[in-house]
Chain A
Amino acid sequence: MSFITRNVFRALVQGSQLSKGLHTSAVNGDKNHENAKEGRIKCTLIPGDGVGPELVYSVQEVFKAANIPVDFEPFFFSEVNPTLSAPLEDVVNSIARNKICIKGILATPDFSHTGELQTLNMKLRSALDLFANVVHVKSLPNVKCRHHDVDCIIIREQIEGEYSALEHESVPGVVECLKIITRAKSERIAKFAFDYAVKLGRKKVTAVHKANIMKLGDGLFLKSCEEMSKMYPRIEFEKMIVDNCTMQMVANPNQFDVMVTPNLYGNIVDNLASGLVGGAGVVAGASYSADCAVFEQGARHVFSGAVGKNIANPTAMLMASANLLAHVNLSTYSRQLKQAVYTVLTDGKVRTKDLGGQNTTKDFTNAVIHCLT
């Protein structure tokens, strides 16, 4: 009970914080978005669950302080809080219209209460066709880790594969979960990975698979990647089995450049690689469809233990929003913001708990703002 009241209270508080509030969805539904101010960009904002709202608030503070010409269109969107959540269609329409979105993490309960197998995250992805997830894992200055100079990009297919939400109990006690791999989607993600490598001037693409066991499913994925690699003669292509890949990743992560993976392997490798450079609080990610881009944390953890304690690390969210700025051609702001975050980390005076410090989210945000102005 107390949990529910707390959530309701938080949602309301957050509504008032976000200047427009919860109930703007009805207003956003109509088509009068033409009168957006000249030279300003509209961006959908999903604070999410757990520490999401605190981190998003930090981003908003920084944007306000740096005078970045982005207006947010906030939606409270949550699976664990279905009564307060904005309808999926509203959120999807908003993102489709704005083309860009900043998203906190959505909590996904382990048990389905409604019998539905698709999580809200998956619904959002499939509604917008956000097929590619990109996590750029990069060592940060003055963040103590076992490995240095890690710099790899993990690209994950996130529409199909193990996340098809097709499960059934054929006989009592026997549950089948279907993993779907299609040629069209495999080719699409492979091309995305190579194009991303081209765009960033990377040298190598590694396909992660388990085709020695799943000869047909992962075999198709691997074959699609191999075929696509022929179109990119100046980029090296290699393949690696997922178990070996995880071992190599913890032993010698510097060998990787761009990695392309099916859905579940990508999820695992993302989290593993994030752990190598400082944890979920420092790695930014993004999801792309043909038309939209959603910027979020690279490793999606709700961190519900820290809710309201003001200890979460906003680095990942700030980096994600810097990537958003670069995506919409505000590269000067993007560079400034990234530089400010790097400066704060390098100075090392302000550190959140996950990096061994005692400072709060608020302190870190203020330090970044101080560097910006």
Chain B
Amino acid sequence: MAVRLLSKLKVLPEVRGVTFATAAPATATLSDFDAQHKTPVVRKQAIIPVAHYGGRHLVTMLPGGGIGPECMGHVRDIFKYVGAPIDFERVDIDPTKDNDDDVQYAITTIKRNGVAIKGNIETKSEASYVTSRNVALRNELDMYAYVINCKSYPGVSTRHKDIDLVIVRQNTEGEYAMLEHESVYGVIESMKVVTATNSERVARFAFEYAKKNGRKKVTTVHKANIMKLSDGLFLETAKRIAKEYPELEHNDMIIDNCCMQLVAKPHQFDVMLMTNLYGSIVSNVVCGLLGGAGIFSGRNYGQHYAVFEPGTRNTGTAIAGKNLANPLAMINASVDMLEHLGHHYHADLIRRAVEKTINVDKVLTPDCGGTASSSEVVNSIIHNIGSGVQPFGSIK
């Protein structure tokens, strides 16, 4: 309690770090979800009880636009088949409306459920006062870290094999601060905001993640040679935090070089830490290397909320309703969600089935070189889950 108060007053940032570090070993017995709710760090929102009753979790579902609703349908089918103990609270956001009521409601539901799975939400309004809803959601819930784990599937033919890297991206500030103005007619300034607090949080998150998942190296990606102060601060913070993790190797790389290295020699990377816009670029580069936008899932983490979504955040409006969309990204996001909630049994069942579908059966949608339709992929996954499903698996 005292630590919590101190950190609230921002008197001792080191103390905050220590509490996080000491709290980390305890997570071995807790699911990520529990740990997130118990780790004593800065709490901006009042804590409300978790929506977890009788072994079932209530989770917000935001289908979003484009291919979102159909992919959510696939996830529901699979969950129903494996009997995942999850209840969905579906919130639809009308993209044509100018007001933010639906988005605010969605944010409220995530606040009380703690966890959400989402597709990409469209913002059709051109009015400048309507901000991007995805960004609004992330900012409002203070989800400062975004994680994509990109691991090659042998069944998808790509130029590089056996890539396994993790991208940790600052998710709430930097270029996405949405502060733009026209100071003089014809001159527009866009602000990039980097703060020490958020840089430290995301850096610590990256190192903790690396430590917890047995990773060896963290690479900080930046452009501090040009943006000496803003990216400089981000880099300095990462270097300072790195000293607390002597067991992990740390290096830094300039974003332009990083992109080149990624397409030429991607195996040198392990965990990558970067600011917001670079994260957007790099994650798309990596997903492109490994078979396209439709496969990988991303995770947004805040102090006590977590939102799971397809990795590259594309709406895919052009192929909506044509049974062509790749359902894998959303399915992988749902597996991440199950893991986060501690339902490892069901997560493993689905993950194994997905891997078998891709690597052995090679049932793939056209975007990764296959010929199957979305529903064929889903049916194959359901088939691969097999009949030995324990409908109400043990939650451990």
Contact = CB atoms under 8 A, between A and B. Distances in A.
B53 A195 contact: yes
A335 to B, nearest CB: 14
Interface in B359-396: 387-392, 394-395
Interface in B87-109: 87, 89, 105, 108
Interface string A1-44: 00000000000000000000000000000000000101111000
A199 B391 contact: no
A258 to B, nearest CB: 14
B392 A100 contact: yes
B55 A293 contact: yes
Given A39-B387, A231-B48, A199 B89 contact: yes
B49 A191 contact: yes
Interface string A299-339: 00000000000000000000000000001111000000000
B90 to A, nearest CB: 10
Interface stretch (A86-94, A205-213, A283-291): A283-291
Contacts of B105: 233-234
A372 interface: no
A82 to B, nearest CB: 29
A195 B388 contact: no
Contacts, number: 87
Which one of A69, A132, A184, A327 has the greatest number of beta carbons of chain B within 10 Å? A327
B391 A330 contact: yes
A291 B392 contact: no
Given A198-B58, A234-B105, A328-B83, A41 B53 contact: no
A290 B56 CA distance: 8
Nearest to A325: B391
A204 interface: no
A228 B51 CA distance: 13
A229 B111 CA distance: 13
Interface residues of A, number: 36
B85 A191 contact: no
Contact of B108 (A233, A288, A289, A329): A233
A328 B53 contact: no
A39 B147 CA distance: 34
A54 interface: no
B55 A329 contact: no
B51 A195 contact: yes
A34 to B, nearest CB: 9
Which one of B49, B51, B113 has the greatest number of beta carbons of chain A within 10 Å? B49
A329 B111 CA distance: 26
Contacts of B48: 187, 191, 228, 231
A350 to B, nearest CB: 31
Contacts of B54: 99-100, 286, 288-293, 327
A357 to B, nearest CB: 34
Contacts of B394: 97, 99
A38 B349 CA distance: 14
B76 interface: no
A184 B392 CA distance: 29
B112 interface: yes
Nearest to B58: A195
B391 A290 contact: no
B266 to A, nearest CB: 41
A192 interface: yes
Contacts of B83: 328-329
A99 B395 contact: yes
Contacts of A194: 112
Interface string B118-142: 0000000000000000000000000
Contacts of A234: 105
A191 B388 contact: no
B10 interface: no
A199 B51 CA distance: 11
Nearest to B34: A290
A69 B55 CA distance: 19
A291 B395 contact: yes
A232 B111 CA distance: 11
Nearest to B89: A198
B52 A328 contact: no
Nearest to A230: B108
B80 interface: yes
B75 to A, nearest CB: 15
Contact of B85 (A286, A288, A329): A329
Contacts of A291: 52, 54-55, 395
Interface in A270-304: 286, 288-293
Contact of B53 (A132, A232, A330): A132
A234 B89 CA distance: 13
A38 B390 contact: yes
Contacts of B390: 36, 38-41
A254 B20 CA distance: 51
A290 B52 contact: yes
B262 interface: no
A330 B389 CA distance: 12
Contacts of B53: 132, 192, 195-196, 288-290, 293
B50 interface: yes
Contacts of B108: 231-233
Given A199-B58, A231-B108, A293-B55, A329 B391 contact: yes
Which one of A232, A329, A330 has the greatest number of beta carbons of chain B within 10 Å? A329
3 cross-chain pairs, A with B, having the tightest CB-CB distances, nearest first: A293-B54, A329-B83, A328-B392
Given A39-B389, A69-B391, A198-B89, 19 more contacts: A41-B390, A99-B55, A99-B392, A99-B395, A100-B54, A132-B53, A191-B51, A195-B113, A198-B58, A199-B58, A199-B87, A231-B111, A231-B112, A286-B54, A291-B52, A291-B55, A292-B55, A293-B53, A329-B85
17 contacts: A97-B394, A99-B54, A191-B112, A192-B49, A195-B58, A195-B113, A198-B58, A228-B48, A231-B108, A232-B112, A234-B105, A290-B52, A293-B53, A328-B391, A328-B392, A329-B84, A329-B85
Interface of B: 48-56, 58, 80, 83-85, 87, 89, 105, 108, 111-113, 387-392, 394-395
